A = this chain, B = another copy of it.
Amino acid sequence: MNRKATALDVAKLAGVSRSAVSLVLNGRGDGNVALESQQRIREAAAALNYSPNQIALSLRNRQSRIIGIVSDQVVTSPFDGNIIAGADAVARSHGFVTVVMDTELDTSRDEGAVETLLDRQVDGLMYVTVGLRPLHVPPNMARVPSILANCFDDRPEAGLPSVIPDEVRGGREAAEHVMALGHRDIAFLAGDSLTPAAPRRIAGYRDAFKGAGLPVNEDRVLQVGWDIDAGFHGAMKLLDGVEASTRPTAILCANDRLAIGVVLACYRLGLNVPQDVSVMGYDDEFRVAKAMVPALSTMALPLREMGAAAMTALLAEVEAAPNGKNEKNDGGGGTGAEVLVPCRLVVRDSTGPVAAGR
Interface set of A (CB-CB < 8 Å, partner B): 1-4, 51-56, 58-59, 64, 66, 74-78, 81-82, 84-85, 88, 92, 97-102, 104, 115-116, 118-121, 143, 226-230, 232, 257, 260-261, 263-265, 267-268, 270, 286-288, 291-293, 295, 325-326
The listed residue with most B CB atoms (<10 A of its CB), out of A54, A230, A295, A325, is A54
Given contacts A55-B121, A76-B85, A228-B293, 5 further A-B contacts (CB under 8 A): A1-B143, A51-B119, A66-B99, A76-B81, A228-B288
The reply to whether B261 and A264 form a contact with Cβ atoms under 8 Å apart is no
Please, which residues of chain B bring their CB within 8 A of the CB of A75?
78, 81-82, 84-85
Q: How far is the CB of A349 from chain B (nearest CB, A)?
A: 11
The reply to whether A97 and B101 form a contact with Cβ atoms under 8 Å apart is yes
* 18 A–B pairs (Cβ distance < 8 Å), ordered by A: A3-B325, A3-B326, A4-B118, A4-B143, A51-B115, A51-B119, A53-B119, A55-B120, A76-B82, A77-B78, A92-B101, A97-B116, A227-B287, A228-B288, A257-B287, A264-B293, A267-B268, A270-B270
Please, which residues of chain B bring their CB within 8 A of the CB of A257?
287-288, 291
Q: How far is the CB of A281 from chain B (nearest CB, A)?
A: 12
Please, which residues of chain B bring their CB within 8 A of the CB of A55?
55, 58-59, 64, 120-121
**How long is the Cα–Cα vector from A52 to B127 in the complex, in angstroms?**
24
Please, which residues of chain B bring their CB within 8 A of the CB of A268?
267
Which 9 residue pairs of A and B lie closest in terms of their CB atoms, listed nearest first?
A227-B291, A267-B267, A75-B81, A75-B85, A228-B291, A232-B293, A99-B99, A267-B268, A76-B286
Please, which residues of chain B bring their CB within 8 A of the CB of A56?
59
**How long is the Cα–Cα vector from A138 to B77 in the complex, in angstroms?**
28
Please, which residues of chain B bring their CB within 8 A of the CB of A295?
229
**How long is the Cα–Cα vector from A282 to B3 in the complex, in angstroms?**
45
**How long is the Cα–Cα vector from A29 to B232 in the complex, in angstroms?**
65
Identity of the chain B residue whose Cβ is nearest the Cβ of A52 in the assembled complex: B119
For A77, give its contact among B81, B99, B115, B229 (CB under 8 Å).
B81
Identity of the chain B residue whose Cβ is nearest the Cβ of A296 in the assembled complex: B228
**How long is the Cα–Cα vector from A257 to B228 in the complex, in angstroms?**
12
Known: A78-B76, A84-B75, A287-B257. A292 touches B3 (CB 8 A): no
